[in-house]
C-alpha cells in the first residue's frame, strides 16, 4: 500500500526525515512511534501527498505523489494532529461539505454523513456547532470526516493526544472496528500504550531515522527483558545507587525519579535488593513495554 525507500524531508538546512525505508501492507495497522520532533508528522504529510518529497522514493497505492497527488488523496483518509474542523459549520455540514470535495454526489454525501454520525456516536449533535463538542467528540468527528470518501488507507497523526482516558478507549474501539472492516491504518503516536494496543507492526523513529522495526512483541523481545523492576529511592540517590544493583539484572537505567533494573525475573531482583540492605521507598515489577525499547534504543524516554 505504501512503500518508501530512502525517504527524506528537509526544510531549508533542517533535515526532518533523513532517509527511511518503510513498507505498509494492506489491512494492517502500522505505527510510527517516537517522541515529538522525531520526523513522524513530516513523514505523514509526505504520505498524505500534501508535502513534496525532498529525496528518495515514495509510492502510495502504487502511485507517485509528485504526479498523482489528487488521485492518491482521493483514496486516503487523513486525520491530522490538530483538528481542522470548520468551526463555522455545524457537525453535519462538516461531513457533507468535505464529501463534496471528493466529488461525491450530494445524495451520497448526505447518506454517508448520516452513517458516519452514527459511527462516531454523535447523531444527536448533527446540528450542533463544532465548538460545542467535547474534545473526544471533535476527534471522533475528525475521524468520521476522514472516512467520508471510504478510504483504503487512513492516516492518523497522534489520534488521541489531549484526550482523557475514557475518550481514548472509545476512539481505540472505533479504530479496531475500522481495521476489522479492512481499512489499512497508519498511526503516529508518542504513547507506547497506544502503539501496543493498535499496531500490528511499527517503526521506532528518532531524530529523523528509524531505530527499529517489528511487531510490539518482537521489539520488546529483541530489545528488552521480559520484566522490569522499578526501584524508587530518595531524591538524588538514584545515580549513586545504580552501581549497587547493576549486577542484579541485564541492564540498569537511571531515570531522575527511579532506577529500572531489566531482568526476566523482576521479583527476584526486588528480593535481592532488599537482602542487600537497600530500602527503596517504592518498588514495582512490571512487564517490559515499548517505552523500555525506546529507552534502550535512544537513551531517552518517549516523553522527551
Partner 1 sequence: MATTTRPARTTRPTGTLSAREGMARQYDYWLTVLKRTWRGGVVSSFLTPLLYVVAMGVLLGGFIEGDPDTLEGATSYLAFVVPGLVASHAMTIAVSESTYPVMGAIKWHKTFYAQLATPLAVRDLVNAFVAFVVFRVAVACAVFMLVLAPFGVFETWWGPVLAWVGQVLVGSAFASLTFAYSARLRSEEGFGLLFRLGVIPLTLFSGAFFPVANLGPVLEWLARLTPLWHGVSLSRMLCVDRVDWSLALLHVAVLAGLTVVGWVLAVRNLDKRLEV
> Site residues (CB under 8 A) for partner 1?
5-6, 45, 48-58, 64-71, 73-74, 76, 78, 80, 82, 84-89, 93, 96-98, 100-103, 106, 146, 149
Q: What is the largest CA-CA distance in the chain?
A: 74
Identity of the residue, 32 or 96, whose beta carbon is nearer to partner 1 in the bound complex: 96
Angstrom distance (rounded) from CA 30 to CA 40: 12
Cβ neighbour number for residue 235 with a 10 Å cutoff: 9
Smallest gap from Cβ 50 to partner 1, in A, equals 5
Smallest gap from Cβ 57 to partner 1, in A, equals 5
Identity of the residue, 45 or 258, whose beta carbon is nearer to partner 1 in the bound complex: 45
Angstrom distance (rounded) from CA 144 to CA 137: 10
Identity of the residue, 130 or 220, whose beta carbon is nearer to partner 1 in the bound complex: 130
Please provide residue 89's backbone torsions phi and psi, each rounded to the nearest 5 degrees. Answer: -105, 155
Angstrom distance (rounded) from CA 289 to CA 293: 7
Smallest gap from Cβ 197 to partner 1, in A, equals 25
Cβ(260)–Cβ(230) under 8 Å?
yes
Identity of the residue, 40 or 45, whose beta carbon is nearer to partner 1 in the bound complex: 45
Smallest gap from Cβ 33 to partner 1, in A, equals 22
Chain centroid to Cα 36, Å, comes to: 11
DSSP 135: H
Identity of the residue, 145 or 296, whose beta carbon is nearer to partner 1 in the bound complex: 145
The residues pairing with 259 across neighbouring beta strands, listed in sequence order, are 231, 254
Smallest gap from Cβ 258 to partner 1, in A, equals 38
Amino acid at each position: 500500500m505504501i512503500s518508501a525507500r530512502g525517504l527524506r524531508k528537509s526544510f531549508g538546512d533542517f533535515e526532518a526525515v533523513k532517509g527511511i525505508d518503510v513498507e505498509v501492507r494492506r489491512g494492517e495497522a502500522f505505527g510510527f512511534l517516537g517522541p515529538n520532533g522525531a520526523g513522524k508528522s513530516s513523514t505523514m504529510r509526505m504520505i498524505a501527498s500534501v508535502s513534496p518529497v525532498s529525496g528518495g522514493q515514495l509510492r502510495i497505492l502504487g502511485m507517485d505523489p509528485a504526479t498523482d497527488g489528487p488521485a492518491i488523496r482521493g483514496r486516503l483518509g487523513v486525520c491530522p494532529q490538530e483538528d481542522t474542523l470548520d468551526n463555522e459549520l455545524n457537525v453535519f455540514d462538516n461531513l457533507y461539505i468535505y464529501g463534496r470535495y471528493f466529488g461525491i454526489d450530494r445524495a451520497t454525501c448526505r447518506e454517508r454523513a448520516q452513517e458516519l454520525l452514527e459511527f462516531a456516536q454523535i447523531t444527536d449533535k448533527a446540528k450542533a456547532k463544532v465548538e460545542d463538542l467535547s474534545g473526544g467528540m471533535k476527534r471522533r468527528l475528525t475521524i468520521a470526516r476522514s472516512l467520508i470518501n471510504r478510504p483504503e488507507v487512513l492516516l492518523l497523526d497522534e489520534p488521541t493526544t489531549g484526550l482523557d482516558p475514557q475518550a481514548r478507549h472509545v476512539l481505540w474501539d472505533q479504530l479496531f472496528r475500522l481495521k476489522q472492516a479492512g481499512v489499512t491504518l497508519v498511526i503516529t503516536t508518542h504513547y507506547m500504550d497506544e502503539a501496543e494496543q493498535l499496531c500490528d507492526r511499527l517503526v521506532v523513529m528518532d531524530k529523523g531515522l528509524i531505530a527499529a522495526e517489528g511487531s510490539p512483541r518482537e521489539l520488546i523481545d529483541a530489545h528488552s527483558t521480559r520484566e522490569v523492576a522499578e526501584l524508587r529511592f530518595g531524591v538524588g540517590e538514584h545515580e549513586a545507587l545504580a552501581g549497587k544493583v547493576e549486577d542484579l539484572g541485564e541492564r540498569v537505567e537511571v531515570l531522575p525519579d527511579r532506577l529500572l533494573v531489566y531482568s526476566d525475573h523482576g521479583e527476584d531482583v526486588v528480593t535481592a535488593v532488599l537482602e542487600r540492605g537497600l530500602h527503596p521507598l517504592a518498588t514495582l515489577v512490571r512487564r517490559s513495554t515499548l517505552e523500555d525499547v525506546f529507552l534502550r534504543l535512544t537513551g531517552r524516554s518517549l516523553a522527551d
